[in-house]
Structure 1
Amino acid sequence: MACDESARGSADAFWTSFYVVLVISFGTILHPELKAFYRRGHGGIKNTVSAIDTILATAFLACLRLAAAWSAPRSTSTSSNDGHSVPFLVKLRWAAPPGIFVFLVITLSTWANFLSYKAYAMLGPCELIFVWIFARILQAEERRIPFCRDLPAVILTALGSLFFSIAEVTGGDRTGFGAIVASLLCRACQALMTVSLRSCCVALKSSSQGRVGVLEITSLKLLVTSLLCLPYALITEGFEPWTTLASQEFWMDSTSAVLLLGSILITMGFQWATVGVNAGLRSPLVAVLLGTLQPLTAVILVLVFSGSSFCQALGLKRRDSPLEIAGICCLVVGLLLGGLGALRRIQTRPSHPRSQTLEFLEHRGGT
């Protein structure tokens, strides 16, 4: 019995590390990869590419779900709570809100990344501000916590966003203002997506009618996203992008073809890993580290790329103005303060006799 528990703990630790590495890796390389694709003259089909990414990711994950159900032993599938007894409409009701917010995040991040990858990546820490606001509005437990607890991190992040935004807008870049607005709206939707996805995972992973797995939650969420991305792409770009992607000329450009296929694989992996982090992991510490490292890695990547041969491919422009440097420093320090504050809360928080998964998800939504 002890050996079984030890083996289960080792397996959980492995999957924890695996999901975290995937989320950070895919989340870091997705947008520079897409930016390189846009810079090769394909910016006019960006919404169509988003629709293709989500549709193929949905189909692939649905096939994985069916393959897993088919290969599972009949005795195991009939004796375990695997979510089959949960009505489809119930599952769709919980998966629809995060799917809608994912669509908004994809739409806004695509537009912001198209205008300025630098602005989009640098304003990543702003999600801390929106999560703090939404948590106090939507969670009664957060409202009972002293108002000033996270205020230093929020103020520093807000100041950093302000300084960086002013530097971008006054730096002579015509797309600066639009990129800033789209990036901030994207982070707000991302915070709402985190909260709604957490609620979805808590409800479906602890349902009295059966536990719904990571693959099924991801498939349903992406199904909703795909059903929104496809008409949006057709309305904004028409059918011409589909003709372009079906042409031999496009596929003769090996770089463009590789970037397109790469975006599909990255989207699939990122969405699956994100739900895995929210639904399957157990440690609140993992959530804090992930919420801190992911935007920090994106900021570091921009700084590294700005002085490399990738600078032109990603449309990065080095300004190094005092206001921009001050903004970046405030953003990084605010992000680190938010992470340290969350770590202190984990250490001082009294333990309650309840599910560790629910505890993890609370920290994930609150950081």
Structure 2
Amino acid sequence: MRGGRVLGGVLAAVLAGAVMTAAPAAWAGWQGEPLFGDVDGDGVVDRVTLVGGGPAECGVTVELGTGGGAYGPGTVYTYPDPSGGTGHCPDMGVVVDLGGDGTVELVLAWFDGRPPGVGHDLLVLRDYAPVGGFDAIYQPSYIGLADFNGDGRQDVYEWTDQGDGFRTFLNTEAGTLVPGPVEYCGGQPDFELADFDGNGATDVVIAFHEGWCGPFSGVVVVFDDGSTVYLEQDEWGDDGWEVDLVDLDGDGRPDVRTTNWSGTVRLYVNDGDGTFTPGIRAVEDRVTVGPTNRKRIKVLDNDTVVPGTVLTITTPPKYGTATVTAQNTIAYVRTDTGNTRRDIFGYRITAGGQTSDATIIVRVKQ
């Protein structure tokens, strides 16, 4: 699909109206957003704005940081319009040290795609003058930085709503950008970057729609070596998801929370070895009550839970009472001592916005 850029255009318009003076944490950008980074090597974040120049020129306005999120007066630098004077100047980009040699470059892109006659999707400026470019996504919606192979150099990533999905480009020692293994097909990605397996390289979890290399929609974790783990999937795309990162079990590793279009929340605990365990799941219990008519039920023992899981009764028993104790067990007391040999009630466990229900079946031993 190469039609209207509705998603990126709308988001860019919203964000452009609320540009902060301090640098965003990700140092990444949508169309028309400023670029942030240390362009003069003084250890203070500077701000760069892409602007038009004179006839057949493009330009950048550089405001050097003065500390505390403030910036000095802007200085405009111009360079020849790569499109040959058509006025199609780059309108998004990042500040990055290609090759890690201490010299900072601007890597720029065109939201609407590179203009006719331009031979690359990314334009590289060094000292605010073009020095080359690289092939990447034709019509990016977003461009950002992360270290996807753990070598200490910031790599470039892009995603687009135009079908090419999420792609990464590794920053090599030679100062080039080469396609990396972290990528996924599909449009409209909602993603979070994290080091899920603890090896020092950035991975990504992506909620996608319009996928063309697997299910039509779903949630997938792509590790730094390109391997994938699906947490959610819908072959026909009737459902969709959003993703968030949480720490469910307090071990410091990023866990994943998914929310589908109808609001159903699911949790996935990161095992740290490339696998994920469903966060909570209630499982039916069957217990026997003896002559005392009392039973302490350790209902969570066969459930999948995380620290902080809350236990509640959803449907009370018909022939007795059920109470949640301070130890997160259920105290069942049979109050009808007639000939009834069976009772049943329901319970729910809740954590991180996710719920799971199950029943407890009580058999009365005469």
Q: TM-score by structure 2 length? A: 0.20
Q: TM-score by structure 1 length? A: 0.20
Higher helix share: 1
